[in-house]
Structures are given as C-alpha cells and as structure tokens.
C-alpha cells in the first residue's frame, strides 16, 4: 500500500490544455495514484491531455468550479481529498505540507497560504489588493483569520466536506468552504505554500471586479446564519442612524424655524424602531445559533463514539483521545465473563429440586447432618 493510496487528487479544469498535462505528471511523480480531473466541457483538448498523462477524467454535468467540486467529491471513495487548480501555479511537491495535518489527525481542513511565498508576477497588484480586502472582510465578519480564504490549494477529509452546506457554483466555492468550516467548527489549519506565476500560454477564467464583488456580497450573506448579530445588527444600526438623523433634522426645524415636518418625523420614528428591532432580533438569533452549535458538537461526539464502538465491537470501554477519540477493549471484563462461563451450571433432580456438589440435594445433606 502506497503512502498516498488514501488520497485522491481532485483537479477541476476548463480549457487548461497548456498546463494540465504537466500538473498531472508532476503529481504522479510525487507518488499519487488516484488523480481525478473533472472537466467543465473544455474545447481545447484538456480532457485528452489529462487522460494521456495518467489521470482519470470525468465530465462535469453542470457548470462552474463550485458545482464541479461538489459533484466530484460525491464520487470519491478515498477518505482524503487534495484539491488543486490545473493552471500549474501550485507545486505538487508541496502536497505533503497540506496532507501532514490531516494524516496526523491535527486538522480536518487545510488551506495553503499563497502569501507566504508569492513569486514575482504570480498575482497582479489589483488581485493582490482585492485578496487582502476579502481576507480582512472575512476576518471582520466571521471572526477567524484563515489568512488566504481564496486559495485553490486545499486538503480535507471527505467526512468533513460532507458536513458543509455548499451551494456556490463559481469561484465562490473557496469562500463558502472557509465560512462553512467556521460555522460547523471544522478544525482548520493554514500552511505556507509557494504560488507560481501562471504560464503565459495559459489564460485565466477569473474576472477580478465581477468575481470579487460577488465574493464580498456572498461573505455578507453567509453572515446571516454564521454571525447573525453582525448581519442583522449592521442593518439595524444603519436604520437607527438614519432615524436619529431624521429626528435631529425635524427637531432643529421645529425649535429654530418653527416649521413642522410630520411625515419626516413619522419616518424617523419608523426607522429608529425598525433598527432597534433588528438589533434585538440579531441578538436572539445569535443565541439560537450558539445553542445549535453546542448541540451539533454533542451530536458529532456521539456519532464518533458510536462509530468507534461499531468498528471495534460492542462491549468496549470508550476512552476519548483528542478529537476523534478511541475505543479500548475492556479486557478484564471479558476475562471475567469468560471465567464465569466456565463454572458448572446448577442441575436439578427428578423432583425438580436444585442440587449442588455433583447432584446432592441440599435438603438431604441437612438431614444427614
């Protein structure tokens, strides 16, 4: 059994003929046997090149990177998945950095940090600035610093991926996975990687302004279920501020100009009350989300323990070890049961009375004495 027999390398592609062959060959040279290329209908021969290089090729039923990842992971049997782009910007030789925390049981999802070693020309100034804005927005909205949430080089367990509620079809899949990892308490690690420039003959499918704007909007939308106090509170605070400004204007005009604005006064009251209600709703929603997370952790813990018992057999003694836990067999208990099973069973005579010591009736023994 090879070192990476439990790992499937997943490469979503669309018109990556210039680079996919080299990417597949380098991963095979690094020791990976299962390489799955899921293609979104390339017209430049990407599928044929990947297949000739030794990869298994699947045709995506839908469109977009996000849909491709969800569809492909659903067909993978290996417990670990290494996700990488097919544009030759990531080094297959650095796969160990991402897989090590998974195989050691230290994490369930690992992100490669491109900013740790970004080579000159690997990213334009516009893209670099946009990435930093998005990472800071993620940290501010969702409360975790994952350093590079848009990285396309990741490793994760298939089991942890199944816990994520993913729906993004395009490039927002990385953002959505990062948010869902925070939401579902998936243990996430960040490791440094090298980010290479895209080869000149390879064209990017990324549109900075459109995709960047969609990602920012998606980050805010996902706060509704992950950080509701921020989502509803920010709207509530904005509404309350508008109400206060309108009320200030009405009061100024009434006190100093003797001019009344009944409609504006009514609008200010509505805006202020609406804002306060939204803030209160956000607080209550946050309490519910926190309670659900605690309950979810308990359920996950029970599931892990039941799975461990089913794996090793009923009757073991559960001894938690870290996140996954372990089950140790109760040897003393089994030995005691085995010893008891070797004792002679009590017998009865023709009259139905119990006998002991080779069949001697207890009442006869009393009479003899």
Decide: 147 and 193 in contact? Cβ < 8 Å: no
Report for 1-10, 118-127, 284-293, 330-339: range of highest mean pLDDT = 118-127
What pLDDT score was predicted for residue 358? 46
Domains of the chain are: 7-226 (3.90.550.10), 229-312 (no CATH)
Q: For residue 117, which of 183, 176, 194 has the smallest C-alpha distance?
A: 194
- Those residues whose C-beta lies under 8 Å from the C-beta of residue 368, and which sit 6 or more positions away, are none
- Alpha carbon distance 93, 22 (integer Å): 13
What pLDDT score was predicted for residue 209? 82
Listed range (9-13, 71-75, 337-341) with the worst mean pLDDT: 337-341
Mean of the pLDDT values across residues 151-161? 95
CB neighbourhood size of 143 (10 A): 12
Mean of the pLDDT values across residues 179-201? 93
What pLDDT score was predicted for residue 349? 54
SS3 of residue 61 by DSSP:
coil
- Alpha carbon distance 226, 249 (integer Å): 37
Q: pLDDT > 90: what percent of the chain?
A: 62
Q: pLDDT > 70: what percent of the chain?
A: 83
- Residue 352 pLDDT exceeds 70: no
* Band (354; pLDDT cuts 50, 70, 90): low
Q: What is the pLDDT of residues 319-334, one digit of tens each?
A: 444 444 444 444 444 4
Listed range (196-210, 215-229, 345-359) with the worst mean pLDDT: 345-359
What pLDDT score was predicted for residue 367? 44
- Per DSSP, the residues of 28-46 read HHTT--EEEEEES--SSSH
Decide: 257 and 230 in contact? Cβ < 8 Å: no
Decide: 46 and 14 in contact? Cβ < 8 Å: yes
Mean of pLDDT over the chain? 84
What pLDDT score was predicted for residue 314? 52
Listed range (74-88, 121-135, 290-304) with the worst mean pLDDT: 290-304
pTM of full prediction above 0.85: no
Decide: 82 and 98 in contact? Cβ < 8 Å: yes
What pLDDT score was predicted for residue 172? 85
What pLDDT score was predicted for residue 338? 46
Listed range (46-55, 130-139, 230-239, 330-339) with the worst mean pLDDT: 330-339
- Residue 362 pLDDT exceeds 90: no
Q: What is the pLDDT of residues 132-151, one digit of tens each?
A: 999 999 999 998 999 999 99
What pLDDT score was predicted for residue 313? 62
Q: Are strands 354-356 and 347-348 parallel, antiparallel or unpaired?
A: antiparallel
Which residues, in sequence order, are bridge partners of residue 13?
39
Query: DSSP letter at 93?
Result: G
What pLDDT score was predicted for residue 155? 98
Q: What is the pLDDT of residues 158-189, one digit of tens each?
A: 999 999 989 888 778 999 999 999 999 899 99
Q: What is the pLDDT of residues 252-276, one digit of tens each?
A: 999 888 888 999 999 999 999 999 9
What pLDDT score was predicted for residue 331? 46
* Band (10; pLDDT cuts 50, 70, 90): very high
- Those residues whose C-beta lies under 8 Å from the C-beta of residue 307, and which sit 6 or more positions away, are none
What pLDDT score was predicted for residue 318? 45
Mean of the pLDDT values across residues 14-38? 95
What pLDDT score was predicted for residue 322? 43
Tell me how far CA of residue 48 lies from CA of 18, 31, 82, 146, 200, in angstroms: 12, 22, 22, 36, 21
């Amino acid at each position: 059994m090879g070192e990476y027999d439990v790992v499937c390398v997943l490469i979503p592609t669309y018109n990556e003929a210039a680079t996919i062959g080299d990417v597949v060959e380098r991963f095979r040279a690094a020791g990976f046997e299962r390489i799955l290329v899921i293609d979104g209908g390339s017209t430049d021969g990407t599928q044929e090149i990947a297949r000739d290089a030794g990869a298994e090729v699947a045709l995506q039923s839908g469109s977009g990177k996000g849909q491709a990842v969800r569809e492909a992971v659903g067909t993978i049997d290996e417990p670990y998945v290494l996700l990488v782009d097919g544009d030759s910007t990531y080094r297959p030789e650095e796969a160990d950095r991402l897989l090590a925390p998974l195989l050691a049981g230290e994490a369930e999802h690992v992100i490669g940090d491109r900013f740790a070693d970004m080579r000159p020309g690997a990213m334009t100034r516009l893209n670099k600035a946009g990435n930093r804005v998005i990472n800071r927005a993620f940290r501010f909205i969702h409360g975790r610093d994952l350093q590079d949430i848009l990285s396309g080089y990741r490793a994760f367990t298939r089991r942890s991926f199944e816990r994520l509620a993913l729906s993004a079809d395009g490039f927002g899949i990385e953002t959505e996975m990062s948010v869902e990892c925070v939401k579902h308490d998936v243990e996430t690690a960040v490791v440094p990687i090298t980010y290479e420039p895209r080869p000149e003959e390879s064209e990017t499918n990324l549109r900075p302004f459109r995709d960047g704007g969609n990602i920012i909007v998606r980050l805010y939308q996902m706060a509704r279920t992950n950080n509701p106090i921020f989502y509803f509170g920010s709207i509530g605070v904005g509404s309350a501020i508008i109400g206060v400004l309108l009320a200030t204007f009405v009061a100024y005009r009434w006190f100093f100009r003797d001019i009344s604005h009944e409609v504006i006064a009514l609008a200010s009251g509505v805006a202020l009350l609406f804002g306060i209600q939204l803030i209160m709703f956000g607080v209550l929603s946050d309490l519910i989300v926190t309670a659900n997370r605690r309950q979810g952790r308990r359920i996950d813990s029970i599931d892990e323990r039941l799975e461990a018992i089913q794996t090793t057999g009923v009757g073991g003694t559960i001894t938690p070890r870290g996140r996954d836990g372990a089950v140790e067999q109760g040897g003393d208990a089994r030995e005691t049961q085995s010893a008891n099973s070797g004792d002679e069973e009590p017998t009865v005579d023709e009259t139905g009375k119990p006998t002991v010591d080779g069949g001697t009736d207890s009442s006869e023994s009393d009479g003899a004495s």
